[in-house]
Homo-oligomer: A and B are copies of this chain.
Amino acid sequence: MDHLDLMKRLHTPADSKILLWVMDGLGGLPLEPGGKTELEAAVTPNLDRLAQDAVGGLSCPIATGITPGSGPSHLALFGYDPLAWDLGRGVMEVLGIDFPLQDADVAVRGNFCTVDDAGLISDRRAGRISTDKSTELCRLLQEIRVPGVEAFVLPVREHRFALVFRGASLDPRIADTDPQVVGKAPLPVRALADEAAATAALVTAWLEQAYQILAPHHPANSLLLRGFSRDPGLPTMSDVYGLKAAAIASYPMYRGLAKLVGMDVLSTGPTFADEVSTLEEHWSEYDFFYLHLKYTDSRGEDGDFGAKAKVIEEADAMLPRLLALKPDVLIITGDHSSPARLKAHSWHPVPTLLYSAVCGVDGVSVFSERACTTGALGVLPAVDIMPLAMANAGRLAKFGA
């Protein structure tokens, strides 16, 4: 019996509200040995005060030592085993641009690239052409017609675009055409299963026209495809937890991830203050809210330690507004760490607070990586956070007699 089975079996109605606040890439590192992390350097009186009444711990997104992408790390926070549910690169790319992906669509990520006269790749990113140029090329490719399939060519950013095939009985088990190195030609389309042969033929027909259209557009005179994939068909939060769930996130990818697990996605503005206003407006309507703060991750990826600490301080200042809503269960965590020191996502477990009237006791009295190592939650798998939230919300029946 896995997590989802247990939750499906044990969830029970209650008049309680859970707020899951994800500060993206929250966890950090000191710039020098013995120094403070971003969270430790930030002045966070409200979070520290909450830490005294909450229990703390460190959330491990995927598995020890594993650095996650945003897709799997969010699935884990929603309680879905990220090693069991595969989010393909194509699906993730399409989620990031708010495209209304349908269940049977096959999505794939595209890169414009440069090929030489011999047809060999000389630049896998086509000199990082501008988004404007890329958008223009996507418009040309959108004119391609292949009987039996509809293709949507969606600009993303610079040389990146997404491609969605819609048709009867498409199968995503298609190998990448991107050889991942320069000096080779783009690979022919190859089915990875017999059932995908027809889809491979349709993609090949589409590509033949695409190569012709792009030929005069040096440096973007060809393209590469990676990560053919489909909506994995996750059970909804309603099925699993019996929760009426809403997502508040200003970035499209996180809205897309929430949609995959059946959350209602609420319209909101671009700032975190906008998101909190949205939360306040809709507080009475849902049992569960996923509230996403993007900028901790952005500043971490920028490598800007001070700016990331400042985002955390701004977040701290918003906490009283969240507490004023009186959530029965409040979880504050990140989907992964993004230390400015590394300018990237990392594997470090993420400082986490869980607050409820019955959350238990520990000695954690400030919110930081160091303090959370001594918390009652220990180092806990991120997938355990939702079961714990459900228990604290009085929404789980007893297991066995």
Residues of A within 8 A of B (CB): 1, 3, 6, 10, 29-30, 33-34, 37, 40, 52-53, 58, 62-73, 82-83, 86-87, 89, 92-93, 227, 339, 341-342, 345-349, 357-358, 360-363, 369-370, 373-381, 384, 386-392, 396-401
Interface SS majority for chain A: loop
| Cβ-defined contact, B398 with A345, below 8 A | yes
Most chain B CB inside 10 Å of its own CB: which residue of A66, A341, A369, A389:
A66
Residues of chain B within 8 A (CB-CB) of A52 are 34
Closest partner residue, chain B, to A96 (CB atom): B401
Distance (Å) between the CB of A360 and the closest chain B CB?
5
Cβ–Cβ < 8 Å partners of A69 in chain B: 398-401
What residues of B have a CB within 8 angstroms of the CB of A388 in the complex?
Answer: 64-65, 347
Q: Closest CB of chain B to A388's CB: distance in Å?
A: 4
Q: CB distance B391 to A360 under 8 Å?
A: no
In whole angstroms, what is the CA distance A236 to B396 when docked?
Answer: 32
Return A79 CB to nearest CB of chain B, in Å.
Answer: 10
A58 partner residues in chain B, CB cutoff 8 A: 376, 378
CA distance A47 to B68 in the complex (A): 32
Inter-chain contact B398/A29, CB cutoff 8 Å:
no
User: Known contacts being A6-B63, A67-B396, A399-B72, is A363 close to B358, with CB within 8 Å?
Assistant: no
Q: How far is the CA of A150 from the CA of B346 in the complex (A)?
A: 54
Candidate in A341, A375, A378, A397 with the most chain B CB atoms within 10 angstroms: A378
Compute how far the CA of A360 lies from the CA of B369 in the bound complex, rounded to whole angstroms: 9
Question: Are B369 and A363 closer than 8 Å at their CB atoms?
Answer: no
Q: Which residues of B contact A369 (CB under 8 A)?
A: 360-362, 376
A342 to B6, CA, bound (A): 22
Across-interface contacts of A384 in B (CB, < 8 A): 63-65
A66 and B33 within 8 A (CB): no
Shortest Cβ distance from A377 into B: residue: B379
Contacts of A341 in B (CB 8 A): 358
Q: How far is the CA of A373 from the CA of B363 in the complex (A)?
A: 8
Q: List B contacts of A68 (CB < 8 A).
A: 398-400
Interface pair A67/B401, CB less than 8 Å apart: no
Asked if residues B373 and A375 are in contact (CB atoms below 8 Å), the reply is: yes
Contacts of A63 on B, CB cut-off 8 Å? 3, 6, 384, 387
11 A-B contacts, Cβ less than 8 Å apart?
A10-B66, A29-B361, A30-B361, A40-B361, A64-B388, A65-B386, A66-B396, A66-B399, A93-B401, A362-B370, A363-B370
Residues in B whose Cβ lies below 8 Å from that of A10: 66
The answer to whether A29 and B358 touch (CB under 8 A), given A1-B83, A373-B374, A379-B377, is yes
Nearest CB in chain B: distance from A384 CB, A: 4
How far, in whole Å, are A10 and B83 apart by their CA atoms in the complex? Answer: 13
Q: How far is the CB of A389 from chain B (nearest CB, A)?
A: 8
**A93 contacts which chain B residues (CB < 8 A)?**
401
Q: Give the residues in chain B near A373, CB-CB below 8 Å.
A: 362-363, 374-376, 378
Report the separation of the CA atoms of residues A342 and B360 in the bound assembly, to the nearest whole angstrom: 12
B363 touches A401 (CB 8 A): no
Tell me whether A387 and B53 are in contact (CB under 8 A): no
A65 partner, pick from B30, B72, B89, B391, beta carbons under 8 A: B391
From A71, A345, A373, A378, residue with most partner B Cβ within 10 Å: A373
Complex CA distance for A376 and B355, rounded to whole angstroms: 21
| Residue from A64, A67, A339, A388 having most chain B Cβ neighbours under 10 A | A64
Residues of B within 8 A of A86 (CB): 400
Minimum distance in angstroms from A329 CB to a CB of chain B? 11
Given contacts A83-B1, A396-B65, A399-B72, contact A29 B370 (CB under 8 A): no
Partner among B30, B82, B378 whose Cβ is within 8 Å of the Cβ of A400: B82
